[in-house]
Structure 1
Amino acid sequence: MRGRSAVSAGLAAMLALFVLAGCSSNGKNNAESSAPSASSKEPAGTASEETKTEKLDPVTLRIMLPGDKPSDYDDVKAEIEKRLADTLNVKIDITYVPWSDLSTKTQVTLAAGENYDLIYDAPWLHMNQMISAGYYEPLDELIAKYGPTLQSTRPQQMWDANKFDGKIMGVPLGIFMVQGHSYLIRKDLREELGLPPITTYDDLIKYAYAVKDKYPKLSPIVPASSDDEKGYSWAAFRQNDETGKIRSTHALNNSFLLYYKNNDGKVYNLLEDKDPTIWGWITDARKLYQDKIISPDVMSIKDWSGEFHTGKSAITLTRSFKYDYWQPNVLQQNVPTGTMENVILMDFTPGANIINYQMDNFISVPAVSKNKERAIQFLNWANEKDNYDLIEHGIPGKSWEAVGDNKYKDLITESHGLASFSMIWNPVQERYPDTDEDETVAKKDFIKNGDNFTPDILTGFSFNSEPVKNEISQYNAIQSKYYSILFNGVGDPDEYYGKFQKEAKDLLATIQQDLQKQIDAFLAAKK
């Protein structure tokens, strides 16, 4: 998800699930949305109309973001404060929280009422719970008054779909409307096997079996097995190839035990009915595991994407359309002749995919902040083009360089820039890596445009988990025992389905009923 370093390939892939995308050297993700901005043309250091006033009193904004402190933090911080000295008169103090501590640290910080002015949160983290507890400030009026660039660099679809109970509780962060995804494979092995480029799932599986036959020391497929990464289990990842046809619910993120389908506003329960598509994914995974196409050690491998980068597997899963520039370098350190390519199976027919325009990342203003107006003014400034480039990429000419109007090239391998997905991401100012070919750019441009998708009937719906929080907690503990076994084919599907059903059916039904009740009320209010 990304400040995140891309030095650790395994960690990068794991976090990509959280922030919806692949990592690059400055810790950015490639994940989510569109719309031109008039204010994006302002030169560095220029304030928006709301900030072109007499010099304001000095303020230090305290900000909490995920990940590790970037290598050029001090240089970028100094340049930001230099640009702001004669306008907003803001200094920044960023606390970076390791991903392993993020949920606990941010929750404790908010509950204690510590003095922070901006904080990263996400629906997959605990955003709904923090909103219910009253820890975040509604931002509608502040953005209307101080955030013209915030507004213009995000399409209306993004704003409308990412409110909570009708209010803006955080600035939505995303560069695409839906997450890109692909299967990353060893191109050199495909060519050695004499196979043509892969264009279908059946082709992908033929390649996997051919790898097993000719390269018996390699594991053709190593998916993820941890509960936190269940979206990267083999069967669950299959839903990406038919974006929106079957979707996980608001109640159980990335789990297909409850699911939506048909865009009909109904919640379906896998423990009550074996949907043929999902069950087909599960039984297919079982056959691949029994045939040793999926690694026999899948449940014990922690760095599953590292298996690919160290040359031990031939297929890995990624939330992007194109591998990052550092990935071939890592592979070739272990396999000098190794090359890679992305296999993209998404349907790019306009309207074929159903999405809800929901972003995975937000920057919010804690209710206790004494600098709410200045915080939004700063975010507005940060979303202007030159300032966005500085915050995301670092010092131009030192950490990176522009390539044309919409691409960039990294000049150092260390993490650089202060933030991307966690504070500023928008689809207008985002640059693509200079390694992206025209075909990749076209695919990314496609998923930037919300008009290319069919809107989910539940677009704009937010789930209040409070009534069933105990049931969700109990259910999740049970799910962690069975989900990856089922969705990676490790155990007999019928046997483990039966065990899962016996322990969790009543809990899941209660969660389903409450979710459906809230959805029915939401849809009724729209009529």
Structure 2
Amino acid sequence: MLNEVETPEFKEAAELARKWYQAGYINSDAATSNVFPKDQAKAGKAFMWTDGMKPGKDKEEEGYVGHPLTQIEMTSPTITTGDASGAMLAISRSSEQPEKAMQVINLLHSDKEINNLLNFGIEGKHYVKVEGQDNIIKLPDGVDANSRTYNPGAQWQLGNQFLNYLWDNEDPQKWEKFKEFNAKGVKSPALGFTFNSQSVKNEIAAVNNVNKQFKPGMTSGAVDPNEMIPKYLEKLKAAGIDKIIAAKQEQLDAFLAKK
């Protein structure tokens, strides 16, 4: 375990962000803005942004922003505990009909018609199939990205993606490439580990407050990293970050010892 802000990689990234900010590549309100980058792109106010990547992500986003996009993969795919747990569906313990809820989840992962009804809407109204293609769809004539009436944009989230239709701007081999992408993912050594933070919950709250104060300005390039990183580190130390790191390292060591 380590303190990210102490690493040379953090300083290097902060210095690059500062350089881009001063050059005007990063919007001046980046440290305080709550607008999603893709909303900025849809409004014609962004030419590039970072995002979690996967095969065909650019074509998925095109349907939202309304103009062509190209993705550039900057890192190799990885598999972490957060990736695995973030992609899971669960039934609330307060559910009054857990068996019915499980049946719905099962249908979303096995019934192609129901899966695509939820993800894309009603055939002939919200989309039409490309002639001669059972799995390729497009918007009906006269409908574009701004006038469509059904677009939850959560195809990755709801049900079995491999049952999903593909838009006519997507790669027909998308799902084959997706399987290859998943297969080459590098597993984190800590895959499956979850930190029990109860013993340092006060320190975590204090560190989170420090991060809120410093990190947005640092990662957006709005402040000078050479001036602010020492102050950032001082505040983190005072908040108890070393105690958090030690507790997490101890638990991780015990987890790895049992594997």
CA apart distance, 1:512: 1.5
Q: Which has the higher contact order (CA 8 A, sep 6+)?
A: 2
CA distance in 1, matches of 2:108, 2:46: 41
CA distance in 2, matches of 1:488, 1:415: 34
Structure with greater proportional strand content: 1
Does 2:164 match 1:436? no
Q: Quick one: which amino acid aligns to residue 513 of structure 1? A: A
SS of residue matched to 1:378: helix
**Counterpart in the other structure of 2:91:** 365
Q: TM-score, with normalisation over the residues of structure 2?
A: 0.78
Q: 1:458 aligns with which of 179, 185, 190?
A: 190
**Counterpart in the other structure of 1:385:** 112
Alignment of 1:95-244 (within 5 A): none
Q: Quick one: which amino acid aligns to residue 342 of structure 1? A: T
**Counterpart in the other structure of 1:414:** 149
Runs of 4+ more than 4 Å apart: 416-422
**Counterpart in the other structure of 1:135:** none
**Counterpart in the other structure of 2:72:** 344
Report if aligned partners of 2:105, 2:159 keep a CA contact under 8 Å in 1: no
> What 5-or-longer segments of structure 2 have no aligned partner?
none
CA apart distance, 1:453: 1.9
CA distance in 1, matches of 2:230, 2:4: 11
CA apart distance, 1:344: 0.9
SS of residue matched to 1:344: coil
CA distance in 1, matches of 2:25, 2:192: 40
**Counterpart in the other structure of 1:72:** none
Q: Quick one: which amino acid aligns to residue 62 of structure 2? A: D
Q: 1:355 aligns with which of 76, 79, 83?
A: 79
Q: Quick one: which amino acid aligns to residue 495 of structure 1? A: E
Does 2:214 match 1:482? yes
C-alpha spacing 1:408/1:467, structure 2 compared with 1 (3 Å): farther
Does 2:203 match 1:471? yes
Does 2:43 match 1:310? yes
CA apart distance, 1:284: 1.0
CA apart distance, 1:364: 2.0
C-alpha spacing 1:433/1:467, structure 2 compared with 1 (3 Å): farther
CA apart distance, 1:457: 1.6
Report if aligned partners of 1:289, 1:296 keep a CA contact under 8 Å in 2: yes
Q: Quick one: which amino acid aligns to residue 73 of structure 2? A: L
CA apart distance, 1:416: 5.0
**Counterpart in the other structure of 2:124:** 397
CA distance in 2, matches of 1:416, 1:297: 29
Number of residue-to-residue matches in the alignment:
240
CA apart distance, 1:448: 3.5
CA distance in 2, matches of 1:407, 1:519: 46
Structure with greater proportional helix content: 2
Report if aligned partners of 2:155, 2:161 keep a CA contact under 8 Å in 1: no
CA distance in 1, matches of 2:227, 2:241: 19
Q: Quick one: which amino acid aligns to residue 355 of structure 1? A: I
Report if aligned partners of 1:427, 1:448 keep a CA contact under 8 Å in 2: no
Q: TM-score, with normalisation over the residues of structure 1?
A: 0.41
